[in-house]
Structure 1
Amino acid sequence: MQKILPSFSRSGRPPLRLLFLLPLLLLTVLAPAARAQADEVDGPAGLTIEAHGGFDGFYKAGQWVPLTIELANDGPSIEGVIRVSTGRSSDNNEVIYDSPISLPTQSRKRITTFVYFTGFTSRLSLQLLDGNDVIATTTITNLTQINADSMLYGILTEDPGELEFLERVIGDRDSGDVSFIELADLPDAAAGWEALDILVLNDVDTGRLSEDQRSAMDGWINGGGVLVVTGGTNWQQNSAGLSDLLPVRLNGTESVDSLPSLAETFGFAYRDAGPYIVTTSTLLEGEVLYAEGNTPLLVRRTIGQGAIYFLALDPKTAPLRDWDANEAFWSEIAVSAQEAPFWSTGIKESYLARDAVRNLSGLTLPSVWLMLCFLGTYVLAIGPINYFVLKRMKRAEMAWITIPALIILFSLGTIITGFRTKGNQVIINQLSVAYGQVDGEQAQVQSIMGLYSPRRASFDLTLPGDVLVRPLQDQFGVGGNTNMGTIERGNDIIIHDVRVDVSATEAFVIDSFQPMPDISGEVTLTIDDAGSRLTVMVTNNSDLTIENASILFGYQLLGIGNLEPGQSETISAELNSLSAPTSTDMSSYTAYGVNSPLIATRYEEIIYGTASDYGRFDDANTQSRYQLMQSLHANIYGGEAVKIPQETVTLIGWTTQPQVEVGIDARESEVQATTLYFIELPFNQSIEAAANLTIDQGLWSFDIRDSSGIYNPSPFDLEMSNGWIEFEFTPWSTFQSLDVDGLDVVMALPLGEYYAGQEMPTVSLWDWQEGAWIKLDDATWGVNRIDEYERYVNNIGSVRIRISYTGFTSIRVREIQPILYGDL
């Protein structure tokens, strides 16, 4: 076979046009590198800038990233700003963050600022500007994005090597990471702490915490953060700035020859012999988890959603150093850093949030009937009526005057109606979601702020300095309408040059921590021979009216109604009488496959005080609330189903209180506000020895172990076609000691005649003894009684169920759940 060699031309030389294109090609390749080098500015003599971001470089997607910038100036004084930008102006999603800074000669400054990434970033450039001139730049190169559900530790210690093993102590998370940071790296805004799950203070002088850092730490703990303060020889400096938070009063140290009880509890001897240095203390508030005689070793105090631990030992010295039980011991702490409920992470669907903030009370379009009447009157006036009047006056030639006059008259009426419809005042609309606990001091708040203007204008907005703000961006975070100048963070936050078009709304996201309303309450779960009963008592001690209050318990919602100031309410329900929402309860304008009770059609009257017409409400305020609730749910376009926290009771309700004070450059404005509260109530349990208990869906938590070919994995409203899914159901901890004497598996068929003859999928149960899936040969729709149930229930009552289907059509399962029977 003849081999054909490539050639440029008969002469073997490349054509001239390629020679002309070669320089252009080189310019295309080299230009970005040249431009990057040109963008790097070393700065004037005597000026140095160093910066690092995140927590030892780690940051989580969808959360604020703190940046620490250190500057030293031995040259002429500088009055400028540190500028950081994210996104790209060409994509209309660039956001510019400015931090003013004053650098006199012979000065050293350290500032903290914050940025929000809408995508993955590993490098970030910072500029120092003097006026409009860039006088120096630096680049942060160590940024690493980790999973949002990863357990992130922050360690403040002089010797970090001894605590690296904590990356393996992950509680109920999928992965873990350890960051080693300095005291000055701790953010001064609570929202900037959200990526951090557990902070360990060891050999660090906490008395050097600034007032803003300490305030931010308090907010972070209330929002679910876990703080560990260690003892040992340096107990005084470790606790210097935190004595009011600790669960104990510290007395001093003592040397002990051994600590046998801790070793016996975990089943591992210490590698190093005593003596050991122990910090002695007296319990003030909290719970002693481990002690040696009368000496507390590990004490926990709960504050809001979070916890503070005092460890009486230094984890870097004996006996904890290199102890084989370290991971098990620290797991007792990691369990407090539970994954927060989905509503605590704020808005997921920006489109719905933007629509919600645009729904303004008092700004409604004229009705269709009014428009038809107007048009009909216009046609009649300019046509038949005008004709007959002029004919009766015998002045038909006046039509050239009356017709234009009528057009002008009706045009003026249209303009006046339009102005009245869109208003004549600037409106600031705040929609907030607040999450906290009744005994907590602060609530974690995310607000969507909409700035409406009836006319084209630009504005400067001022917010408190302890909040973090960014534009609400659409298009899944890769684009957005950033019609603004810069976000300046100094003593206050100033959003410069917000450009609003005619009758348009510009929207921003504000993250903050705010005082909790004064609400008290408790929940009692009573279990006896009569069954399981939930009793909820709640009192509104605040001056706010909690509108359409309700109680969320698992996948059920119980209505209370409006809670006026000073009002108390008590409600009770039998657990077995409650049931989860299904596909027939879901609005047509809801997140597909979510199956959250918060967006179930049957609960609309409880949540909003009225029912919708296929997701539409007549009242703009109610429609806005509906869209805000919808926007909290992440998988509107598919994904894993929403998981409601188990063994938790949450009070839900609305107020008309704004959460953040917003100023608008000396202009009058109207404020509209709505806050959606999620407030967890303390859970008490009254359990007697009970016989013939039934553990059904109200008392289970579930995990999806694995799946294939499933669009929306969920035990509720499961749709499948040629796929499979594996669930693990675990009863609440209260019922894990149940003496099981029976097991049912429920496969609920969707309601309606359409599904009456639907094919049955294959159902299998996990045999804990054999370690294998066992197919149920006689499985049917409805309740399936399981023989030899002991094989399928483990020592804490967990049951695994596998559903598979290989047909050519899709099938739908309304509900999958086990039911346990037994004595407690």
Structure 2
Amino acid sequence: MKRLLLVLVVLATLLPGLVGAQVAPVTLSVRVGLGGLVKQNSWAPAIITVTNSGQDLQGEIEWRWDNEPTVFAQTLDLPRGANKQLLLPVRAPSFGGRGTVRFLVGGQPVALATAVADVADMGQAVLAVLGDEGPAIIGILMARNLPSLRALQLTSGELPDRPELLAAMNWLILTGDTAQLQAEQQAALQGWVATGGHLVINGARPQTALGLGALAPATVDDTDQTLPAADVVPPSEVAQPGPVHVLHLVPRAGTTAQTTATGVTTFVQHRYGMGMVIQSAVDLAHLGTTRAGLARLIGLDTLDLSSNNRSPAFGLLERALRLPALRLPSFGALLSFLLCYVILVGPVNYLLLRRWDRREWAYVTIPLTVAVFTIGAYLWGTTGRGSRVIVNELAVVHAASGATTGQATTEVGVYSPVRRAYTLGFPADALVEQSMSSFRRTAGTPIRTLRTDSAVEVPNVLVDVGALQSFTAEQTISVPPIRVTQTGGATDTVLVHNDSNQALEDVIIVQDGNALQVGALQPGAEQRITLPVNGALGGLNVPGQGTINRQAVLMTMVEGSGLFDNNPAAPPHPDASAPAPAVVAPQKGAASQLLVFAWLPTSQLPLQIDHRTTSTQGETLLIVGADDAPDH
């Protein structure tokens, strides 16, 4: 009998190792970020390659940063002989770029690999170059010695197909054939620009603008010509003396063009949403020098690289939510309750027992009074908390003028009247993370997001009694088209037209740190406003009628972004002694852009709790960037 027990113990010890040996043929490799670079607290792509030379497996791929508790996972079927590559969106850490990817089968790791990413600070600008001219352009820019600039080169295969995964970049210079990009990559570029990205289209070849459609501010004609380089930049800034090849750009309506003295268009720009697109007719690598040329041509000398044109959406919900169940009882109500308790348990109890000549009953009446008030306090608290789970949403959506899609950042708050763990289900295209304001990312409180074919699940979300747990979901959504057009003439005006079938509420025009309240805008209606906007943001009155305090949302955004700065400080010129160029790309400061804020009384993010669709209540704030007025 003892021998049999010994054999069983040995088998139990060796069995996990035997099972692991059977699945050991799984190998992993991973690279994280854009060219190995990620930006603090921004989404980044983790490209994972998995091979399997053993038996068929079903499991999960998961990534975790060494210094962060959040785990990002995805289900994966891995048949025998498979060699798969998948993209797992991960949120970059605040510090420390080392992480580990694991393949789990039945919850047990069977393969792992590590990777290290270069983490850029939020205050650092990142410029990427896509195409063959990357080394030349990056070399010029890095020789420019811009301390807050990080530069990297990308290939078309490294360009993500989601705008959220491009968030690490401030600038992107295109030099290759964009028609070779996938439709999802082209749409991602469009969404990235709408949320504040700056796109530069190099003029080395006409194919660079082919895949961008209307995002390119100009079309390229079949004809081209040559010009002396000094007609484009000062002679001291020309890298290669002699004539330069110039594409024939035909500016689109509503764009701003820069021409030479002979009328040749050299640069065209236009705003798209919160971002900017600059199209060059010449090869920037041919013109730029280490002295001044390229950095100034694309606006690096005049743009505040550390500014954040994209308005903040994180932490807004908890500051602006008006949920009765979260309110504490008023001071007057608590004081009245305590006074009643003191009076009843003291004077009233004593006087009654004295009148009845039953003072010895105090041993019974006092505990009974305490019990009654205890039960009353409990019922008061539970009644105030309610009896059901409440889900509130606040979406901030950035869109371009006239666009039917926008980039949404939705904060979801889950309130529970009792302490309980829930499984939350988000749409499959959402990038989900627990809000930092809700959960401080401490090592003892990990959250795991699992991507499946049909949803993004967050299991075991513990919500305390009467507390709120909030998550952030980012995705591309449909939006009501709003056309915002600036018109020139004797007086500058802006025309806001609601092209949708939905009414817009509390419409506000914002420019140069000032604001003007327009009010409601019905479907098909338009409003013409004379510029400049001179009203103070603090004087607006947009409280809203629902659970979201709209005024609190706007004021919180004022505190966290540069959208409302009255006097945005321009950074000093890196080389004040450098001569001014004869012709430069047209630039307009970020603060001069006109924005339209409009509210919708609903939100679009469906949510499941414990695998059942739940009702939500929420609102949507649309932020639409106006098209630039053409020069006049």
Report TM bin, short chain. 0.7 to 0.9
**Which of 383, 406, 414 is 1:420 aligned to?**
383
Distance of 1:605 and 1:290 partners within structure 2:
42
SS at match of 2:35: coil
Q: How does 1:658-807 map to 2 (within 5 A)?
A: 658-667=603-612, 669-684=614-629
What RMSD, in angstroms, separates the aligned Cα atoms of the two structures?
A: 4.7
Q: How does 1:122-133 map to 2 (within 5 A)?
A: 122-133=97-108
Give how far 1:421 is off.
0.6
**Which of 29, 54, 60 is 1:75 aligned to?**
54
Distance of 2:120 and 2:363 partners within structure 1:
72
The residue aligned with 1:192 is 165
Give how far 1:422 is off.
0.7
Distance of 2:531 and 2:134 partners within structure 1:
51
Conservation of the 8 A alpha-carbon contact between 1:291 and 1:298: no
The residue aligned with 1:553 is 511
**Which of 493, 500, 518 is 2:456 aligned to?**
493
1:605-653 Cα distance to aligned partner (Å, 9 max, x none): 434379xxxxxxxx9743x7526732662499xxx99769532233334
Conservation of the 8 A alpha-carbon contact between 1:279 and 1:312: yes
SS at match of 2:232: helix
Conservation of the 8 A alpha-carbon contact between 1:304 and 1:441: no
The count of aligned residue pairs is 586
Distance of 1:685 and 1:180 partners within structure 2:
33
The residue aligned with 1:629 is 555
Distance of 1:429 and 1:604 partners within structure 2:
27
**1:459 matches 2:434:** no
The residue aligned with 2:293 is 328
When residues 425 and 565 of structure 1 are mapped into structure 2, their CA distance, relative to the original with a 3 A threshold, is farther
Structure 2 gap ranges (5+) = 1-19, 570-588
Q: How does 1:152-171 map to 2 (within 5 A)?
A: 152-157=127-132, 160-165=134-139, 167-168=141-142
When residues 485 and 121 of structure 1 are mapped into structure 2, their CA distance, relative to the original with a 3 A threshold, is closer
The residue aligned with 1:180 is 153
With normalisation by structure 2, the TM-score equals 0.75
Q: How does 1:173-572 map to 2 (within 5 A)?
A: 175-203=148-176, 206-207=179-180, 209=182, 211-228=183-200, 242=212, 245-246=215-216, 259-260=226-227, 264-268=231-235, 271=240, 289=258, 300=269, 302-308=271-277, 321=286, 328=293, 331-334=296-299, 342=308, 344-347=310-313, 353=316, 355-356=318-319, 359-361=322-324, 363-381=326-344, 406-473=369-436, 479-480=441-442, 483=445, 485-491=447-453, 492-523=455-486, 535-572=493-530
Distance of 1:450 and 1:412 partners within structure 2:
30
Distance of 2:264 and 2:607 partners within structure 1:
51
Distance of 1:668 and 1:323 partners within structure 2:
57
When residues 105 and 217 of structure 1 are mapped into structure 2, their CA distance, relative to the original with a 3 A threshold, is farther
Give how far 1:98 is off.
1.0
Distance of 2:388 and 2:309 partners within structure 1:
33
Identity %, equivalent residues: 22
**1:56 matches 2:56:** no
- One-letter code aligned to 1:265: V
Distance of 2:551 and 2:521 partners within structure 1:
18
With normalisation by structure 1, the TM-score equals 0.60
**Which of 611, 634, 656 is 2:601 aligned to?**
656
SS at match of 1:49: strand
Give how far 1:395 is off.
7.7
Per mean C-alpha deviation after superposition, the further-off stretch among 302-311 and 128-137 is: 302-311
Distance of 2:278 and 2:403 partners within structure 1:
17
Per mean C-alpha deviation after superposition, the further-off stretch among 280-289 and 437-446 is: 280-289
Larger relative contact order (CA 8 Å, sep ≥ 6): 2
Per mean C-alpha deviation after superposition, the further-off stretch among 176-185 and 377-386 is: 377-386
- One-letter code aligned to 2:101: L
SS at match of 1:167: helix
1:444-493 Cα distance to aligned partner (Å, 9 max, x none): 43333221111111112222333322222259x97548755411234432
1:525-548 Cα distance to aligned partner (Å, 9 max, x none): 777xxxxx7655434444555444
Distance of 1:333 and 1:657 partners within structure 2:
40
The residue aligned with 2:65 is 86
1:161-192 Cα distance to aligned partner (Å, 9 max, x none): 33323535999x86433312232322233211
- One-letter code aligned to 1:54: G
When residues 633 and 659 of structure 1 are mapped into structure 2, their CA distance, relative to the original with a 3 A threshold, is farther
Distance of 1:69 and 1:42 partners within structure 2:
22
When residues 99 and 114 of structure 1 are mapped into structure 2, their CA distance, relative to the original with a 3 A threshold, is same
SS at match of 2:192: helix
- One-letter code aligned to 1:305: M
Conservation of the 8 A alpha-carbon contact between 1:304 and 1:440: no
**1:113 matches 2:113:** no
Structure 1 gap ranges (5+) = 1-40, 528-532, 580-596, 611-618, 688-824
SS at match of 2:591: coil
When residues 296 and 562 of structure 1 are mapped into structure 2, their CA distance, relative to the original with a 3 A threshold, is closer
Per mean C-alpha deviation after superposition, the further-off stretch among 488-497 and 383-392 is: 383-392
Distance of 2:360 and 2:290 partners within structure 1:
105
Per mean C-alpha deviation after superposition, the further-off stretch among 123-132 and 284-293 is: 284-293
Larger Rg: 1
Give how far 1:505 is off.
1.1
